[in-house]
């Protein structure tokens, strides 16, 4: 599944670059969606098996893991400066998305109409993101270009040395095949993960939602973890924050939206997920606003608090709700 996600991410980035999409927008959109491909695979496989609580639990668990553990660990390694775009757009949208999900799920079910609303919101967010990202400073533009466009020239074509080395593999048709193969691998891997997780739930006597919040959420967050830690170690810290916030937004708006639309009878939301985990995920999103506004960075101490908060949450899950 992770190999499939990596193939999707690389192919989508190259195709976007071929279409002359600026590297910063590739980083803010394609990469954020690409690292969430495993969650989409799990969601589609879960609703196909009539395990809606696992799909919703996976989104709630993944978003808390993204912000509390991965972002917190990244800040603990090296303080993370916050972008004005994150404060003005990303964090407010993340908060609104999390609160809207709680409101939509309040009746214990998400239907296709609500899934369509999430997808429409994703389109509006992306349009706003494209518009506001043009105002980002040249330093951030260079950082995203280095991180996501290093294999390409700025005009959208491969640099000459790279083109000579990669040859036919850079052809649009080849990238399309790579994209399709990556999606197929991701879906097969997600199906195996859901089946294995369901077997674990039956063996351990726990709910599908619990498995979605823990084992599946941690497994599907591997792309975000790797991308963020590498960006942090390379000092591409704006990339680290942008990827995590963007993934958390697209997890709800795109991934869950598509999952709900794909389910003819809607998606059931487990009672504990509705009462505990979705409100907690919304609370985590809310906490990000004052943290991102304070001193223009996420400090090591704030990162430590985030990591400890996630470990406490995970411990309570294992002790109280297993």
pLDDT of residue 54: 84
Per the structure, how many domains does the chain have? 1
pLDDT of residue 283: 97
DSSP structural state of residue 90: I
pLDDT of residue 193: 59
Query: Domain range for residue 84?
Result: 2-320
pLDDT of residue 42: 80
Dihedral class, residue 50 (left if φ above 0, else alpha if ψ from -120 to 50, else beta): left
pTM to 2 decimal places: 0.78
Residue 196 sits in a domain whose CATH number is: 1.20.1420.30
Residue 196: how many CB atoms within 10 A of its CB?
14
Kindly give the confidence (pLDDT) of every residue in the chain, 322 residues in length, as a single tens digit, with 9 standing for 90 and above: 555 545 555 655 565 556 565 555 665 666 667 667 777 878 888 888 888 888 898 899 999 999 999 999 989 988 888 777 677 888 999 999 999 999 999 999 999 999 999 999 999 998 888 777 666 555 555 555 555 454 444 444 444 444 444 444 455 566 566 656 665 665 565 556 556 665 766 676 667 677 777 777 777 777 677 767 776 776 766 666 777 888 899 999 999 999 999 998 889 998 888 999 999 999 999 999 999 888 778 899 999 999 999 999 988 888 876 6
């Amino acid at each position: 599944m992770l190999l499939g996600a990596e193939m999707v991410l690389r192919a989508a980035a190259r195709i976007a670059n071929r279409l002359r999409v600026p590297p910063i927008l590739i980083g803010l959109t394609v990469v954020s969606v690409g690292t969430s491909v495993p969650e989409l695979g799990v969601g589609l496989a879960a609703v196909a098996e009539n395990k809606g609580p696992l799909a919703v639990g996976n989104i709630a668990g993944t978003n808390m893991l993204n912000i509390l553990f991965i972002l917190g660990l990244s800040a603990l390694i090296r303080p993370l400066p916050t972008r004005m775009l994150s404060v003005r757009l990303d964090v407010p949208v993340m908060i609104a998305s999390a609160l809207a999900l709680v409101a939509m799920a309040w009746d214990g079910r998400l239907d296709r109409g609500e899934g369509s609303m999430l997808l429409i919101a994703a389109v509006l967010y992306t349009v706003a993101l494209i518009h506001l990202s043009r105002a980002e400073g040249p330093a951030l533009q260079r950082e995203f270009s280095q991180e996501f466009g290093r294999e390409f020239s700025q005009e959208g074509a491969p640099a000459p040395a790279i083109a000579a080395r990669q040859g036919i593999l850079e052809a649009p048709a080849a990238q399309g095949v790579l994209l399709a193969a990556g999606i197929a691998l991701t879906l097969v891997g997600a199906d195996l993960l859901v089946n294995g997780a369901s077997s674990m739930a039956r063996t351990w006597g726990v709910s599908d939602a619990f498995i979605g919040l823990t084992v599946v959420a941690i497994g599907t967050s591997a792309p975000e973890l790797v991308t963020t830690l590498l960006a942090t170690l390379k000092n591409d810290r704006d990339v680290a924050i942008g990827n995590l916030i963007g993934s958390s937004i697209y997890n709800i708006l795109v991934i869950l939206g598509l999952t709900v639309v794909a389910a003819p009878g809607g998606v059931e939301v487990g009672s504990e997920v509705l009462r505990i985990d979705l409100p907690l995920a919304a609370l985590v999103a809310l906490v990000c606003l004052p943290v991102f506004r304070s001193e223009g960075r996420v400090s090591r101490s704030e990162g430590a608090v985030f990591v400890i908060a996630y470990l406490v949450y995970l411990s309570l899950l294992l002790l109280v709700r297993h």
